[in-house]
Amino acid sequence: MARIYNFSPGPAMLPSEVMEQARDEILNWHNTGMSVMEMSHRGKQYTEIAEESEADFRELLSIPSNYKVLFLQGGAATQFAMVPMNLLRGKKKADYLCTGHWSEKAIEEGQKFCEVNVVANTKSTKFTHIPAQQDWNLNSEAAYFHYTPNETIAGVEFHWIPEIGNVPLAVDMSSTLLSRPIDVSKFGVIYAGAQKNIGCAGLTIIIVREDLIGQTLSGTPTMFDYQIHAKNNSMYNTPSTYPWYISSLVFKWLKKKGGLAAMAEINHKKAETLYGFVDNSSFYTNPVDPTCRSWMNVPFILANSNLDEQFLNQAKQAGLANLKGHRSVGGMRASIYNAMPQEGINALVDFMKEFERTKG
Ligand code: PMP
């Protein structure tokens, strides 16, 4: 069967070139006679993969030398706990902005460790906008400020970085990291699960400013301490070796594509194609404020929700899969991460046009 265009929010599409290379190397990596899966994480070969991947990742994001990069397990959800455990540093309060489902999850977990001050919450307007920073109720005693630059479910994205003085920014970039360049120096800690833009599930990447680590909450388990992982080059215990290797191939692929500036251009064009079409149609709508629409996750609603099932079935038959929206938003959602080509967007738009023509 030919490969489909997979609009899943994650685990999501990976570049075919990456998987072809993984396939070619699966039994015999670089003439070693073994698979990456079978290698000791402390052996020469795997150390090479790990070191080169970190160097590529740093190069892609121009990560300053005073930041550590950690390749861990546990998913972004584990970071909801690791952030307070590591970043409170003796303080008792933290600020959180709530712009969607994943912000809510981070807040719920943060509340187990400290006094969480929710600076603003857009739940009452169904998470369709980002309030202006002047309307946030910030606390100068906060140990850090946490927010979610891209909310995967509602499709709300920051196209700017808050300026909060000396309070470090802690951000969940699970559905946006590596989709465009970012100024890492503006953040205290950045974390992301790999299964969207970075690779496959099983790997979580953390970029953390050096001076913020080493002051964990009393009782923090060893495995939750950023400093332990930093000191051990993410090899305190056995890392997720194969997903890390897959990401190392994705980094090479991104470099070959021209790096993150080139990806930004491609991703912006993809998003514009889809939003442009939706905005010009009276059959499809996107509920999000145009100033904060996500380049990565595009929800859209059909004028008649009774047609949702038909839309999904026919789309699937046309090779356009996993378009069902999250139940909290309804309708459809197209997740269009790095590996989704412009051709996939064009095919989706053509399909949507035809569906509207025949059913609208
Ligand atoms: N944060 C965001 C923004 C996400 O999109 C997701 C997963 N969809 C998570 C956190 C949870 O990630 P994980 O399943 O890797 O813990």
Q: What pLDDT does residue 2 have?
A: 83
Q: What are the pLDDT digits (tens) for 47-78?
A: 999 999 999 999 999 999 999 999 999 999 99
Q: What are the pLDDT digits (tens) for 170-184?
A: 999 999 999 999 999
Q: What are the pLDDT digits (tens) for 117-144?
A: 999 999 999 999 999 999 999 999 999 9
Q: Of 29, 102, 136, 244, which residue is the catalytic one?
A: 102
Q: What pLDDT does residue 41 have?
A: 98
From the CB of 79, is ligand 1 less than 6 Å away? Answer: no
Q: What pLDDT does residue 77 have?
A: 98
Q: What pLDDT does residue 113 have?
A: 98
- Give, using CA atoms, the residue closest to atom 10 of ligand 1: 76
24 is catalytic: no
Q: What pLDDT does residue 72 have?
A: 98
Residues of the chain with pLDDT under 50: none
Q: What are the pLDDT digits (tens) for 148-177?
A: 999 999 999 999 999 999 999 999 999 999
Give all domains of the chain, ordered by start, each with its CATH number: 16-256 (3.40.640.10), 259-359 (3.90.1150.10)
From the CB of 297, is ligand 1 less than 6 Å away? Answer: no
Q: What pLDDT does residue 56 have?
A: 98
Q: What pLDDT does residue 168 have?
A: 98
| SS3 annotation, the chain | CCCCEECCCCCCCCCHHHHHHHHHHCCCHHHCCCCHHHCCCCCHHHHHHHHHHHHHHHHHHCCCCCEEEEEECCHHHHHHHHHHHHHCCCCCEEEEEECCHHHHHHHHHHCCCCEEEEEEECHHHCCCCCCCHHHCCCCCCCCCEEECCEECCCCEECCCCCCCCCCCEEEECCCCCCCCCCCHHHCCEEEEECCCCCCCCCCEEEEEEHHHCCCCCCCCCHHHCHHHHHHCCCCCCCCCHHHHHHHHHHHHHHHHCCHHHHHHHHHHHHHHHHHHHHHCCCCEECCCCHHHECCCEEEEEECCHHHHHHHHHHHHHCCEECCECCCCCCCEEEECCCCCCHHHHHHHHHHHHHHHHHHC
Q: What pLDDT does residue 360 have?
A: 75
Q: What pLDDT does residue 35 have?
A: 98
Q: Which ligand 1 atom lies nearest to the CA of residue 10? A: 8
pTM: 0.98
